[in-house]
Structure 1
Amino acid sequence: MHPTFPAIRATAIAALCAAPLLAAAQVTLKPDNQWRYLLTAGANASTGNSKSAALNISGEAARVSTIDKWTFIGQSAYSRNDGETQTERYALGTQYTRDLTPTWFGFGSLDALRDKLANISLRSSVASGVGYHVLKNDRHSFDVSGGLGYSRDRYDEPTDVDGGLRDTYGRLELVLAEESNHKLTETTSLRQRLALFPNLRDTGEYRASFDTNVTVAMTKDMNLTAGLSWRYNSDPGVGTKSTDAMFITGVSFRFD
């Protein structure tokens, strides 16, 4: 059976609502030890044969010096269609990175996530490790990193994970990632990041994420973004899909 138009529209609204959270334009990174901020916000609503509404807000802050970088990010997305919630997701995260040598660096991160439709009441994650600057100049950068982390999921409803019905599930994970940033022109930039999280408690299971986006500066303070986001969890729990993917658009404002 082919999907109805309201179902297609609901899916599109949910994707657009969550999109800016996953690939917002990057806050300005300038090694002068000053805090800088980025805000992305959007909303839409419709009424008539079908009623829908969507709201998303995200904020990012960063302080960069010649030897270290500290970033914070907060994200929220919510949408409803014909009285049914399509998206309800909130996330907070921070990461500190410090150069150990001109090419090697260490990092530590802390993240929290709530995703009601994915049955996640709270996912808390902490990680630490080292990385290597493969390429680093004014226009291009490419880093690879690896480390060890711990994630703990608390579920809204008990779910079958790792062979048992559980309210919570904690596990050690490897953290493997690569990330690059590219200034293509004076107004256009590209960034991408791929991360893998092999499960050390249940060997063979893993999480993965990939984000890429293009940012075009319209003015000094306003940017347009477009990109793609992909998430995978090999063992998300019974009744939850393993893969999520979406096309991304957004408008961001800088406060430098």
Structure 2
Amino acid sequence: MPDIEALAAKLFNDISGLPEERMRLALLCKTLSTLAPFDAARLLDTIYNKDIEDKSASIVRSLMVDDEAVHSQIGDGAYNSIYLAALRGGLTRISRLFTEFEPHKKGVSGYDEEEFIKMEHLTLGERRALSKSQLKKNIDMLLSDPDPIVIGNLLGNPRITEREILKIASKRPNSGRILKLIALHPKWSKRYEVAKAVALNPYTLPRISIALIEKMLTQDLSAISEDGTIHPEVRESAKDLLLDRKKKGKIH
């Protein structure tokens, strides 16, 4: 049986030396896929049990938010085997990361009536072009756009602020695809309030919310655990994290 702590230490050391997220993800997935399924689950469990402020562990947790990328790189067989191994081994915190629950609520993002009146005369192509504009009035008009490409352009627009990103992330109803774009964005996903808004949105895929709440403050976890609008698995995950922190005497 491999020394999991030593494996984690080596992974942290190797990942910290890589400059790009795609390279870090590739290394993580290669490491997981070369291990026996239960050892891979144990490695992840060891990483997730590190202190919330552990920078190396935080890098790995951030990589695990992108379930599609992880799934694609390690393949169906390894992905499903790690899930089953974690489930059978009682590593609930890890098995939840390999689930595919539907959002607690389904819908699409869209314009409010007043906004729609302003936008109904524009074609999709025109809206996509406007989303690259640096005029604030154009950005404001497009915050509720249902098209992921429009929102993707807005996320990368140098004139957009966190305040506007929070409007997109908090909007209900919303699109799971759009919320995932925010959750995986290299800049905005690192903003605590943005990550919290995505995690709290019932239209977010539960798997993404479960990964995001790992870095939530205790008071926010407590609110999530009691929020009836959020998927039950996300609430249970928040309760488990609160219990774990209580046992460790960690208050954040």
What is the TM-score normalised by the length of structure 1? 0.28
What is the TM-score normalised by the length of structure 2? 0.28
Identify, as 1 or 2, the structure richer in strand: 1
Identify, as 1 or 2, the structure richer in helix: 2
